[in-house]
Chains A and B, each alone.
Chain A
Amino acid sequence: MASAAQRNGGLPGWTARAVLTTAVLVATSALAADAIDPGALKRLVHQDCGSCHGLSLKGGLGPDLRSETLKHYDPDVLTGVILDGIPDTAMPPWRPLITEEEAEWIARYLLEPEAQ
């Protein structure tokens, strides 16, 4: 985090750190509570993943994420993609915003929306 801020060109270091810290704090309070909050995660999936994948997850700029499309993927692979993104594509890493447990929950939710 700090090194990213320092490399941030003409931006004063404290501003960049403040921005990043704010981002992390907001994310922490919104999502990374001690326990998994299925309601908040479902909202994240449909509203925020939905920015690219569509509110109903049938695809947009990003690919279709419906369970019938994803079913041949291993949940660990999906969890990895959620946490670390796919380089050179528009899929960002969500690790700065969510925990590994939350990413695992999202992967299972995508594969079996009814079960969660």
Chain B
Amino acid sequence: MKHLLLGLAAALMMTTAQAEPTATGDLGLVIERANGSVLLVDQSDRAALARIEGLGDLSHASLVYSPDERFAYVFGRDGGLTKVDIVTRQIVNRVVQAGNAIGGAISDDGRLVAVSNYEPGGVRVFDADTLEMVADIPTGSKTIGLVDAPGRRFVFTMWDTGETWIADFASGDPEITKIPDMGKNPYDALITANGRTYITGLFGEDGLTALDLWADTPEPIRVLPNYGRGQEEMPVYKMPHLEGWALTGSEFVLPAVGHPQVLWIDAGTLTETGRTQTHGQPVFAMARPDGRQVWVNFAHPLNDTIQVIDSVSKQIIHEFKPGPAVLHMEFTPRGHEVWISVRDANKVMVYDTHTFEKLREIEADSPSGIFFTARAHRTGL
């Protein structure tokens, strides 16, 4: 009934919305993973505005925004690539581009949308206007860690072969640079906001591997190659995510794999500056946009908890249990609030990041990823 009302309210609002322009700068979309829908939300009003349905299998889905913050490109697990217009609140185009996909990126000029696929392994690149395929880059491997890099480039990494490829679209047809020996079983990657450093996390061995994309010939740089040595590894029930990387002052903070800790790394030298023991194995370690706090959620079965770490002292300053299956967190662009999806409570919860007070609960169907439109202007998001 509530959904019906929500839909009705959305329809009514659309009618009035047509009279005046819709500003999208404080809007966002929440993935509703079970039913293949996305929920349009308003950050300022802390409210859901509309539900957009028909996006296929959205387990492990993510999305990117067009530079004008009007269109979202949603990457579904089933290989679906759906273009959603958040002004008219409709799907405007949808292609099923592969059998099994894992994520995507949009080029710095907003013209190309790339999707990384498990099956068939590789990356496919589409025209952002028409969703027509403009390049097919088979890699012979499950392909992960796809990001955009400055200069109309995409960077991505192969789980099976441990290579990273840079696809440069500056002159039309892609020019591919292959970098072997990144390490055993890279599971995800990130790019820093300035587009310089690409870091992939390794599942098959300790540590991470970085590339300096400003180098003429980027070479693998080992980061913390021994971080878990001599310690008993715990079973990994969920791979961490590196997309929510955090730069706090001059350090990165990243989730460890197989250990209940987050790792602090000097951004200049890529050497370890500390570790913080956490409640469980971290999934996301995300810095508030000012870098002062890092919010961490955890893998099953400890996924009802969040810990907040102070980035100066590296100490845990707050711990709370939003509810069953905390899957994702998204900060408002200035960081005053954080939105948290609590899948099994069917709610998105909004917290004040200074007082930790809960400000609002928003009904959502098995919510997972939360994406505010401000991502449109960030490299790697």
**Residues A92 and B118 in contact, CB atoms below 8 Å apart:** no
Indicate if A61 sits at the interface (CB-CB under 8 A): yes
Indicate if A69 sits at the interface (CB-CB under 8 A): no
**Alpha-carbon gap, A61 to B301, bound state (A):** 20
| Cβ–Cβ < 8 Å partners of B378 in chain A | none
**Alpha-carbon gap, A55 to B59, bound state (A):** 6
Tally chain A residues at the interface, Cβ within 8 Å: 35
What DSSP secondary structure best describes chain A's contact surface?
A: loop
Most chain A beta-carbon contacts within 10 A, residue among B34, B57, B142, B232: B232
With contacts A8-B231, A52-B239, A96-B235 taken as known, whether A23 is within 8 angstroms of B142 at the C-beta atoms is: no
| Cβ–Cβ < 8 Å partners of B33 in chain A | 55
A6 to chain B, nearest CB (A): 9
Range for the number of chain B residues in contact with chain A: 35 or more
Indicate if A116 sits at the interface (CB-CB under 8 A): no
Residue from the list B59, B118, B185, B279 in contact with A22, Cβ < 8 A: B279
Indicate if A85 sits at the interface (CB-CB under 8 A): yes
Residue from the list B203, B301, B343 in contact with A23, Cβ < 8 A: B301
Indicate if A33 sits at the interface (CB-CB under 8 A): no
**Residues B231 and A61 in contact, CB atoms below 8 Å apart:** no
**Residues B230 and A9 in contact, CB atoms below 8 Å apart:** yes
Indicate if B237 sits at the interface (CB-CB under 8 A): yes
Residue from the list A8, A15, A60, A94 in contact with B100, Cβ < 8 A: A60
Q: What mask results when residues 9 to 45 of chain A are scored 1 for a CB within 8 Å of chain B, else 0? A: 1110001000100110011001100000000000000
**Alpha-carbon gap, A27 to B159, bound state (A):** 30
Indicate if B260 sits at the interface (CB-CB under 8 A): yes
**Alpha-carbon gap, A31 to B301, bound state (A):** 10
Indicate if B221 sits at the interface (CB-CB under 8 A): no
**Residues B301 and A97 in contact, CB atoms below 8 Å apart:** yes
B301 to chain A, nearest CB (A): 5
B256 to chain A, nearest CB (A): 12
Instruction: Tally A-B pairs: CB < 8 A.
Output: 85
Indicate if A115 sits at the interface (CB-CB under 8 A): no
Residue from the list A10, A59, A61 in contact with B159, Cβ < 8 A: A61
| Cβ–Cβ < 8 Å partners of A54 in chain B | 57, 59-60, 77, 100
Q: What mask results when residues 40 to 82 of chain A are scored 1 for a CB within 8 Å of chain B, else 0? A: 0000000110111011101111000000000000000000000
**Residues B159 and A92 in contact, CB atoms below 8 Å apart:** no
| Cβ–Cβ < 8 Å partners of B144 in chain A | 61
| Cβ–Cβ < 8 Å partners of A31 in chain B | 301
Indicate if B187 sits at the interface (CB-CB under 8 A): yes
Q: Which of B17-38 contact A (CB under 8 A)?
A: 33-34
**Alpha-carbon gap, A93 to B232, bound state (A):** 14
Residue from the list B57, B60, B119, B236 in contact with A90, Cβ < 8 A: B236
**Residues A51 and B277 in contact, CB atoms below 8 Å apart:** no
Residue from the list A4, A48, A56, A94 in contact with B57, Cβ < 8 A: A56
**Residues B237 and A48 in contact, CB atoms below 8 Å apart:** yes
**Alpha-carbon gap, A13 to B343, bound state (A):** 33
**Residues A19 and B260 in contact, CB atoms below 8 Å apart:** yes
Indicate if B238 sits at the interface (CB-CB under 8 A): yes
Q: Which of B251-287 contact A (CB under 8 A)?
A: 260, 275, 277, 279-280
**Residues A11 and B277 in contact, CB atoms below 8 Å apart:** yes
Q: What mask results when residues 282 to 320 of chain B are scored 1 for a CB within 8 Å of chain A, else 0? A: 000000000000000000111010000000000000000
**Alpha-carbon gap, A50 to B366, bound state (A):** 14
| Cβ–Cβ < 8 Å partners of A97 in chain B | 237, 301
B300 to chain A, nearest CB (A): 5
**Alpha-carbon gap, A90 to B100, bound state (A):** 18
With contacts A23-B280, A26-B301, A59-B100 taken as known, whether A92 is within 8 angstroms of B239 at the C-beta atoms is: no
Indicate if B149 sits at the interface (CB-CB under 8 A): no
With contacts A48-B237, A56-B57, A90-B203 taken as known, whether A7 is within 8 angstroms of B232 at the C-beta atoms is: yes
- The residue of chain B having its C-beta at the shortest distance from the C-beta of A93 within the complex is B235
Known: A19-B260, A47-B343, A55-B60. 14 other contacts (CB 8 A): A4-B232, A7-B231, A7-B232, A23-B301, A23-B302, A26-B301, A26-B304, A50-B59, A51-B238, A51-B300, A55-B59, A60-B100, A61-B239, A85-B235
Chain A residues at the B interface, C-beta cutoff of 8 Å:
4-5, 7-11, 15, 19, 22-23, 26-27, 30-31, 47-48, 50-52, 54-56, 58-61, 85, 88, 90, 92-94, 96-97
